[in-house]
Amino acid sequence: MDLIRTAPTGWGFVEKGSERPFVPWGCNYYDPFTGWPPRLWEQFDPSRVGEHFDHMQAIGVNIVRVFTTLTNVLSAPNRTSAAGIAKMERMLEIAAAHEIHVIFSGPGTWEGSPAWWHATTPQECFVKRDLIATQAIAWQSIGKALRGHPAIFAYELYNEPAIPWQPTPTMRERWVHWQARNAPSAPLDLPAPDEPLALHWDWDFQRFREDLAEEYVARMTEAIRNADDTHLITIGLHQKSAPFDWYPPDPYATFNPHRLAPMLDYNSVHFYPHHIFHPNIYRDPFATKDGMDETTRHGRAVARYFHAGNKPVLMEECGWYGGGPVLFVNREQPALTEEQQTAWCTTLVEATRGDVCGWLFWPYRDTPSSLDPSRRSGLYDAAGRLKDWGRAFARLAPEITAAPHPRQTATMRMVTPLRELTTVPERIKSFRAEYLAAFRRGEVVDFVPA
């Protein structure tokens, strides 16, 4: 295996030695039988992991994304866990034997928080200086141990980060310092999320949260590159990092790809249908052809917004469920067939071929204990039977991975009014209507920050 770098053109990836193109076509991997959330590292079983990689290799997977955890990487805030790093090295051995590259995401707290991890909310890892320092140590430990390993595709700083809206003591402290330097006319205190927001203050707070996000990414990338300059770096951004993909303004993740791209090697975006969350705004892609068309156009808009800093864009988490009902947003959702799952995934790939450089679907295998669509979103079902979507994935693999698809040239540019979109809910609706109409006319839109 060769290390991977971004292509000289700025679009796509190539192997460092041969310069052959590498098109990511894969899935997100965890052991589906270690509980929910899965305890991959707590219950690490190399023989079982090897069997799972056999399944993935058999259908053409060339890349997987794997969550790392603080409990596995560190035994104390400033002490590397040799046993934990050894597990990661063993996984890379298995991946290399199957010619599959790995994106290591995290290290996070999906498997639980260490006893020494003190956070009022999970998202305080982005604002508390001691927690930020601990994460930097974790990344230094990983980079030092795995520098130059050919099976690693990239390090991903965090999965779906969002700066907290809650006025915790740490946020209040950080706000007071930021407000004094950057917005002295803004209020000194932070209102609770359910209080009405004055628009001017709201914009100041959005800028404040974006600054915190940029500071976090700068610290993590510096920590990695000081230990390992051989691997790519990205961050796994939720689609809510697009300022037109959420409603109302408070869910905006504030990890702005246009601000972060200069520090990263490529941009990562996650995309799923949103109709379950906001049925009054987003149409059900499985109800009508118009719903499918509109949802894929929305996906194109999000993907194209993430093309920032002339960096490649990877859709590293996407997909949907099929094969029965699932639990989601605290209720059982309608059953979808395996064929409907295939229809969504293949339609999304075809729609975004000129917008992203590769795809990783969620997850490798149906997860019986899951409390979300992971229960039926796999390429394989829980029993290890290849699903309809898995068969379609395998059919697509040779053509997808043979050569990269060039980025589709824009036919129009839309200025993205960040301030309006992050303070005025109705502006989100009108902006959405504008870009959907443009894609419906056959335009290819580039989104330009105001």
pLDDT digits (tens, 9 = 90+) for 155-170: 999 999 998 777 888 9
pLDDT at 249 exceeding the cut of 70: no
Per-residue pLDDT, 276: 86
Query: Is residue 418 assigned to a domain?
Result: no
Per-residue pLDDT, 299: 97
DSSP state of 332: E
Which has the closest alpha carbon to 69: 36, 111, 103, 28? Answer: 111
Per-residue pLDDT, 328: 85
Query: Is residue 417 assigned to a domain?
Result: no
Per-residue pLDDT, 118: 86
pLDDT at 199 exceeding the cut of 60: no
Please give the full DSSP string across 201-229, using - where no structure is assigned: HHHHHHHHHHHHHHHHHHHHHHHHHHH--
Distance spanning both ends of the chain, measured CA to CA? 42
Per-residue pLDDT, 425: 84
Query: Is residue 80 assigned to a domain?
Result: yes
Query: Is residue 430 assigned to a domain?
Result: no
pLDDT at 349 exceeding the cut of 60: yes
Per-residue pLDDT, 147: 98
**Residue at 61: amino acid letter:** V
Per-residue pLDDT, 54: 98
Distance in angstroms (rounded) separating the CA atoms of residues 444 and 297: 10
CB 446 within 8 A of CB 410: yes
Query: Is residue 447 assigned to a domain?
Result: no
Query: Is residue 340 assigned to a domain?
Result: yes
In terms of residue numbers, what domain contains 216?
4-411
Percent of the chain with pLDDT over 70: 97
Rounded mean pLDDT of 220-240? 98
Distance in angstroms (rounded) separating the CA atoms of residues 270 and 268: 7
DSSP H or E stretch at residue 305: helix 289-305
pLDDT at 141 exceeding the cut of 90: yes
pLDDT at 197 exceeding the cut of 80: no
Which has the closest alpha carbon to 210: 173, 170, 182? Answer: 182
Interhelix angle 338-352/388-402, rounded to 10 degrees, is 20
Rounded mean pLDDT of 406-425? 94
Model pLDDT for residues 3-18, shown as the tens digit of each residue:
999 999 999 999 998 9
Query: Is residue 365 assigned to a domain?
Result: yes
Query: Is residue 325 assigned to a domain?
Result: yes
CATH no. for residue 344? 3.20.20.80
User: b/e per residue, 281-300, with b = 16+ CB within 10 A?
Assistant: ebbebbeeeebbbbbbbbbb
Q: Provide the domain count of the chain.
A: 1
Distance in angstroms (rounded) separating the CA atoms of residues 400 and 398: 6
Per-residue pLDDT, 194: 61
Query: Two tokens at 363?
Result: 């997850």
Which has the closest alpha carbon to 415: 431, 401, 426? Answer: 431
- The rounded mean pLDDT for the chain is 94
Q: What angle do CA 322, 323, 324 make, to 5 degrees?
A: 100
